[in-house]
Structures are given as C-alpha cells and as structure tokens.
C-alpha cells in the first residue's frame, strides 16, 4: 500500500472533519480569487477610461482633478463656466472661427481674426461640452455631433462609437430641429427609453422637475465600458435654448435668427443663442500632433479664465492616490485569508493526532519509519490543500462568470474564467496551497514523536 493511498484512507476515516477543513480552504481560495478579480476589474476600468481619445481638457480655473472628474467621469460638479470664445480660439483650421461666428450670428470686434491655437489643433479637434443638467440620476452632456464622430475610446483610443439603435444627433434636423438626444447604453436600459421617445432634463437636481423643453431620442449607444454609458447627450444648440441656460438674454431682433419650418404644423424654431451669451463647461482638445499639446498648455494656463488639464495625468494621479491603496488593502486581505485557511488545516490535523496515536504506533510496529509517518501526515495536508484550492479557484471564477452580464452592462468589461487572472493569482493561490501544506508540519512532528510502546499498550 503506497503512502498516498494511506493518506487518502486516513482522510476518509475523518470524513466530516476532512470535508469541513477542505470547505474552509475552498472558501479561502474563492475569496482570494474574487478579491483579485475585483481588483483587476477596477484597474481595467480605470485604465480604459484613462485613454480618453484627446490630449487635454480646457476649462475654468480651479482644481485640475475636479475638472477631470467632472468632464471625464461626470462625477463632480463643474468648477465654473468659460466663455464660448475660448472654444473658438481652439477650433482647428484658419477659417473655422469666422465661419462659426457667422453661423451663430454673434458680435465680436474682429470676426476675421484667426483662433490663437487653431494651428496647433489642425488635424485634431476641439469639442465643446456643457454640463449641469440631469436625466433621472444620470448626467446630461450638451455637445456637438463631433463627440461621436471624432472621439475614439478603448485601450488604444482606436474604437469608434457605435449605435445599437438609431443614429447620431444632428446639429439641426428638419424633423426635430435642435432638440435631439443620444443616450448611453445604461441610461437607456435603466430609464426604459428607446429611439423615438421624448425626454426632459432637470437643472442641477436629479429629482427635480424637468425643463419644459423635450428632446427626441434619436440614438442609443452600444456599450463602451466608459462613463459615456452613464450619460445622456443632447444637441448643444438645444441645450442653450433650454430655460435658464443662457445669461438671461433674449434678442428677438437678431437679424441672423434662424427660423425653420418643421412638418405640416409649420413649427417655428427659436433663434440660435448669440455668441456673447454662450458659456461652456469645458472643451475637449486633441492637437494635430501630440507634441503640440505640451506647447499649448503653458499659454492656455496663462490666460485669465481658463486652464488646460491633461486627463491622462490626472487619472494617473488619482490611481496613485486612491486605487493603488485599495488594491494594496485587497492584497493584505488575501494574505489574511491565506493565513486563516492554513491555520484551519493545522488545527484540524493537529486535533486528529490524539485520536490517531494508536494507528501511528501500529504503523511503526509494522516497520514504518518515522519519516514515512511524517510524509503521510504531510500528504494529508497537501491533498486537503489541493482539493480545497482547485474547488475554490473554480468557484471564485465561476461566480465572476455568473455575474459577467451585470459587470459587462455596467463597465463594458467581459469577465471569463481566464481573462481576470492576474500575476498575483499565479503566486497567491499556489502560495496558499503551499502554506496549507506546511501547516501539516506541526501535526507531522507530533506524529514523529509518538511513543510506540505507550500507545500500543493503551
């Protein structure tokens, strides 16, 4: 009879104790796997969101992290607004600024002057963003159609936005005028909205009453795994025409007011808001060449009302300040779980030694050497560790797979049996099994010192 078979028979004789000890080991390993998987999901989510597809955020002076959190993650409140002219200074192309001014019908001292930074952004883009409203618990983003045509997302910032239904909003459409909306995947699902539905935004209060103006949902974004899944996007022109979104200004005598007839009812569209009455929360800027982004930041930061913030730098700082300590806490928790699991095996086998002293004495009397007895005890510990470890690994990853649909809907991250494995798992789980095996050393030492004559006579 080989040693492995003897160890297995000993485990069978202590069936209930063995099962409970193995179950404790299983819980420990599954908890380790779940904690490491959660840590991976958090890190992966922030890594994905750090590649925002643009080089800088230009917004009001204040906290740079707050500006990044508000603009990228929609988590904080806007610092302050900036004049629309700041956006025109950033628009790419020498002709962009006068064309935009002419279209809006605004008043400036020198409409033919080029934007200060237009040469830097040639080959890139500048996308205006207005924040402040809510649709249910979700932030509303006033922006232009370029948000979905020019921006890219994903780990390499090379993925285009896709629509699971509908289309991108237009600057102006014959059907809906300036009042079109695109909903992120989570917003549409949780609010029960589909293409063709009408929505109303609330001003600064998720629970408040909606503005009187309705927006028609023309598109539902496919899941992206970015904060844009949790946002509602409306046409910037429509955003300005909502009550209280202008600087308490209305110019009915504007000679350049655009009036459009819509449908058979001949609905008259309101005029666009003049340039000098427009504000923005931020501008998303991608330079024509990445090196230009560095050259732009200093002169922008010298301006009185705006600052330029690198979202990648701010997100990296936030990872270092908040996420890294959380991951360290998770790893510390796994170490504690490993120690507790090893102690449970130690206690279980050690307590069984008093019941097995006679069996060990018989083995010794039949010719078994002391080292053989020690190996049998260590094999028992190893079998418990392997059995509990393998079961715990499958259960831990199985729970992750069971909730993969929920995780994917909320983060865009696909969870499988193997893709959540981290380098820590390759070390911690085998290390836990080794620690559990070593927990059998003390019981093995007790078995080693068993007195044959005394226990055979008892």
Distance CA 353, CA 447 (A): 7
Residue 264: both structure tokens together: 């058979």
Q: Supply the pLDDT for residue 371.
A: 65
CB atoms within 10 A of CB 186: 20
Per-residue pLDDT tens digits for 86-95: 998 898 864 4
Instruction: Enumerate residues 6+ apart whose C-beta is below 8 A from 200.
Output: 135, 210, 211, 212, 213, 214, 215
The model carries a pTM of 0.72
Strand-strand pairing, 180-183 and 215-221 = parallel
- How many residues are present in the chain? 458
Q: Supply the pLDDT for residue 328.
A: 80
Task: State the maximum Cα–Cα separation within the chain, in Å, rounded to a whole number.
Answer: 115
CA angle at residue 303 from 298 to 304, to 5 degrees?
140
Q: Could you give the C-alpha distances from 198 to 194, 211, 285, in angstroms and in order?
A: 9, 12, 31
Confidence of residue 341 (pLDDT cuts 50, 70, 90): confident
Percentage of the chain modeled with pLDDT above 70: 74
Q: Supply the pLDDT for residue 102.
A: 55
Find which of 34-48, 60-74, 258-272, 315-329 is predicted with most confidence, using mean pLDDT.
Answer: 60-74
Mean pLDDT score, 105-118: 57
Range 258-284 burial, b when 16+ CB lie within 10 A, else e = beeeeeeeeeebbbbbbbebbbbbbbb
Mean pLDDT of the chain: 79
- Cα 356–chain centre separation: 54
The helix, strand and coil proportions of the chain, stated in percent and rounded to the nearest 5, come to 50, 15, 35
Is the distance from CB of 56 to CB of 293 less than 8 angstroms?
A: yes
Is the distance from CB of 144 to CB of 128 less than 8 angstroms?
A: yes
Token look-up 């069984």 returns: 352
Q: Supply the pLDDT for residue 268.
A: 61
Instruction: Enumerate residues 6+ apart whose C-beta is below 8 A from 177.
Output: 238, 260, 262, 267, 269
Confidence of residue 256 (pLDDT cuts 50, 70, 90): very low
Mean pLDDT score, 178-201: 94
Q: Helical H runs in 51-168? A: 64-68, 84-90, 96-104, 118-121, 146-149
CA angle at residue 54 from 71 to 89, to 5 degrees?
85
Distance CA 374, CA 443 (A): 8
Q: Supply the pLDDT for residue 248.
A: 46
Q: Supply the pLDDT for residue 281.
A: 94
23-27, 48-52, 166-170, 226-230: least confident range: 48-52
Confidence of residue 52 (pLDDT cuts 50, 70, 90): confident
Q: Nearest 5°: phi and psi at 133?
A: -90, 165
Per-residue pLDDT tens digits for 7-42: 677 677 777 777 887 888 888 888 888 888 887 787
Strand-strand pairing, 306-309 and 56-60 = antiparallel
Q: Supply the pLDDT for residue 236.
A: 94
């Amino acid at each position: 009879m080989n040693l492995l078979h003897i160890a297995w028979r000993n485990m069978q004789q202590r069936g209930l104790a063995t099962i409970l000890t193995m179950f404790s080991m299983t819980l420990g390993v599954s908890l380790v796997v779940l904690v490491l998987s959660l840590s991976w999901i958090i890190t992966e989510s922030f890594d994905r969101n750090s590649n925002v597809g643009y080089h800088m955020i230009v917004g009001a002076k204040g906290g740079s992290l707050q500006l990044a959190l508000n603009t990228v993650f929609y988590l904080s409140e806007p610092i302050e607004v900036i004049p629309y002219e700041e956006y025109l200074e950033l628009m790419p192309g020498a002709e962009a600024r006068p064309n935009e001014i002419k279209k809006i019908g605004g008043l400036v001292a020198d409409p033919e002057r080029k934007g200060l930074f237009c040469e830097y952004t040639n080959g890139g883009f500048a996308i205006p963003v207005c924040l402040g409203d809510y649709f249910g618990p979700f932030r509303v983003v006033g922006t232009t159609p370029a948000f979905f045509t020019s921006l890219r997302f994903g780990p390499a910032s090379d993925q285009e936005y896709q629509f699971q239904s509908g289309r991108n909003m237009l600057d102006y459409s014959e059907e809906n005028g300036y009042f079109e909306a695109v909903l992120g995947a989570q917003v549409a699902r949780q609010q029960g909205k589909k293409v063709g539905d009408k929505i109303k935004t609330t001003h600064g209060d998720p629970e408040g009453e909606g503005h009187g103006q309705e927006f028609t949902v023309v598109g539902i974004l496919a899941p992206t795994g970015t904060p844009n899944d949790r946002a509602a996007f409306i046409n910037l022109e429509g955003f300005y025409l909502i009550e209280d979104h202008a600087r308490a200004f209305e110019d009915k005598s504007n000679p350049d007011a655009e009036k459009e007839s819509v449908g058979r009812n001949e609905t008259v569209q309101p005029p666009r808001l003049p340039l000098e009455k427009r504000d923005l929360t931020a501008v998303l800027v991608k330079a024509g060449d990445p090196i230009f982004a560095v050259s732009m930041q200093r002169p922008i930061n010298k301006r009185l009302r705006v600052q330029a913030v690198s979202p990648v730098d701010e997100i990296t700082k936030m990872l270092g300040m908040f996420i890294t300590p959380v991951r360290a806490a998770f790893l510390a928790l796994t170490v504690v779980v490993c120690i507790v699991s090893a102690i449970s095996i130690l206690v279980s086998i050690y307590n069984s030694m008093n019941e097995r002293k006679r069996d060990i004495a018989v083995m010794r009397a039949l010719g078994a050497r002391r080292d053989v007895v020690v190996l049998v005890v260590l094999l028992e510990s190893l079998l418990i560790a392997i059995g509990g470890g393998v079961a715990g690994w499958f259960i831990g990853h199985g729970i992750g797979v069971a909730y993969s649909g929920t995780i994917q809907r909320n983060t865009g991250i696909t969870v499988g049996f193997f893709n959540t494995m981290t380098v820590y798992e390759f070390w911690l789980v085998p290390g836990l099994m080794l620690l559990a095996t070593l927990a059998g050393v003390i019981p093995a030492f007790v078995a080693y010192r068993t007195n044959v004559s005394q226990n055979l006579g008892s």
